[in-house]
Amino acid sequence: MPVLPVLPRDGKEPAPVQAYQAIRDAIVRVELEPGQRLSENDLASQMGVSRTPVREALARLRDEQLVRVVPQLGTFVSRISVAAVGDAQFIREALECAAVRLSAERAGPSDHELLEELMVAQERTRADGDLDAFYHLDDSFHHALCDLSRHPTVWTISQRAKSHLNRIRRLSLEVPTYLPEMVDEHRRVVDAVVAQDPDAAELALRYHLRQVLRELPHLREQRPDYFEQAELV
């Protein structure tokens, strides 16, 4: 019985986007498990708002395929679809790799400094193993990498596309050897960007992104109930 936070009344963000972020995070953290049933009424009372903002949040999550809503029946956390993960991976790779090429060309010394700071923060969590903290640092890193291309929308769209992938990312962190390797891979990307070498940056990033799918077969046999059984026709 996972608990969603009660939305603060004075939040600067409007209620629907707060609800959206809260539910989204819970799904990605797999606190709300794939296949689990969600009730608009329950969510609304848990968060201390009415159904209206919850519905708006669920509509966005439905657009991202994170939930499946069946009229007059219920709303369900969608199971992880291998096909959807593949699509998301493809899109993420196309967008981030294109962006990092520009970033390598455009980034200046202050940008390089920012990247270094993010690397230091990652190194720090290497030891203590706070997975959620690292997950967010990882996001921040890729976000920064995208924004340096001066196309801020890229990150927004990428976020929208890779919801399915995010659960794999989060679950993969449980594998002990995975986290430090990621930091090393980030390191290589940063080096290439600092060297202003677009080709090397794209190559390093592409390699890094592909690693995410490494654990997928293992996860799939470990928790088959998290995944869509067969791709129905």
- Rule CB under 8 A: which residues touch a copy of itself? 14, 16, 55-56, 59-60, 63, 71, 84, 86-88, 90-91, 93-95, 97-99, 149, 151-154, 157, 160-161
Is residue 72 involved in binding DNA (CB under 7 A)?
A: yes
Whichever of 83 and 175 has its CB closer to a copy of itself, that residue is 83
Are 130 and 180 a contacting pair, CB within 8 Å? no
Question: At closest approach, how far in Å is the CB of 143 from DNA?
Answer: 26
Q: Based on CB atoms, which residue is closest to DNA, 9 or 120?
A: 9
Closest to DNA by CB, 52 vs 222, is 52
User: How many residues form the binding site for DNA (CB under 7 A)?
Assistant: 21
Residue 52 binds DNA, judged by CB under 7 A: yes
Cα 209-211-215 angle, rounded to 5 deg: 130
Between the two ends of the chain, the Cα-to-Cα distance in Å is: 33
If 0-12 CB within 10 Å is exposed, 13-18 middle and 19+ buried, where does residue 53 land?
buried
Per CB under 7 A, does 140 bind DNA? no
Copy the structure tokens of residue 140.
């921040």
Minimum CB distance to DNA, residue 85 (Å):
25
Binding site for DNA (CB under 7 A): 14-16, 38-42, 49-53, 55, 69-75
